[in-house]
Amino acid sequence: MATAAQVLANQANARHATGPRTEQGKANSSRNATTHGFTTGVLKVDAEDRPYFDDLEKSIIAQANPKGALEMDAVYEFRDAAWRLRQIRKMALQLFEQHGEDPFTNLDSAAAFNQLARYRTAAEMSLHRALNTLRDLQTIRLGRIVHLAKSENETIGPLASPHVFAFPVVDGMRMNRVARENFDEYHGVGKPT
């Protein structure tokens, strides 16, 4: 049992403990309660996983070719969800290794596995939603490009050369636009009787 003097000394000392002072220290202590990071808005990436994560991000951006802030947001949502799903599978594997039995049937790991399943459902929804949104945004962008190209004289101003839009070059070949309704006639496809 502490004496009255010790209690007073402890209280006096505690006044000096004002928590972390540096920005890094504050950032570190803000993550004290974080266990796996599946419920936080900010993604948790361990140092050992960082190179793989960076590689994944670069590949997704290179493939999706996002333009503008909205498409970038959708790409980041997709990246985060894909990463969370990977981490959730990693934790499920750890449960399996810890208990030596499939989490589907092991009762000891039931609570933890059910919690992981909930996180996983949320991450899956986020993954597919982000991909659908990115598809919609890019379809809208493509539609605008196609429609602007059809009426380039009105949309890009009287001084601009319409040939810039009307005759794009793909793989060194000059391409010409053919109206969809004229396609069958151009290619000699007979109309159904």
Partner 1 sequence: MSDFQFGAHAIYTPDSEARFIERRDSVIATIKPANVIEAILTEELLHASWEMQRVRDHSNNTNAEPRLNAAHSRASRNWHRSVNQLKRLQSARASIDCELYHLAEQQVADQCPLADLNKLPKPLVIATPEVQ
Return residues touching partner 1 (CB under 8 A).
55-56, 59-60, 62-64, 78, 82, 85-86, 89-90, 92-93, 96, 102-105, 110, 117, 120-121, 124, 127-128, 131, 135, 146, 167-178, 180, 183, 186
CB of 89 to partner 1, least distance (A): 4
**Is 4 or 169 the residue whose CB approaches partner 1 more closely?**
169
CB of 8 to partner 1, least distance (A): 54
The number of C-alpha atoms within 13 Å of 167 and in the hemisphere containing its C-beta is: 6
Q: How far is CA 73 from the centre of its chain?
A: 7
**Is 8 or 178 the residue whose CB approaches partner 1 more closely?**
178
CA distance 83 to 42: 12
CB of 144 to partner 1, least distance (A): 14
Q: In this structure, which long-range contacts are made by residues 125-134, counting pairs with CB atoms below 8 Å and at least 24 apart in sequence?
A: 126/77, 126/80, 126/81, 126/84, 127/78, 127/81, 127/82, 127/85, 129/77, 130/74, 130/75, 130/77, 130/78, 130/81, 131/74, 131/78, 133/74, 133/77, 134/64, 134/66, 134/71, 134/74, 134/75, 134/78
CB of 72 to partner 1, least distance (A): 15
Residue type, 28: N
- Helix, strand, or coil (residue 2): coil
CB of 64 to partner 1, least distance (A): 7
**Is 8 or 183 the residue whose CB approaches partner 1 more closely?**
183
**Is 127 or 137 the residue whose CB approaches partner 1 more closely?**
127
**Is 26 or 90 the residue whose CB approaches partner 1 more closely?**
90
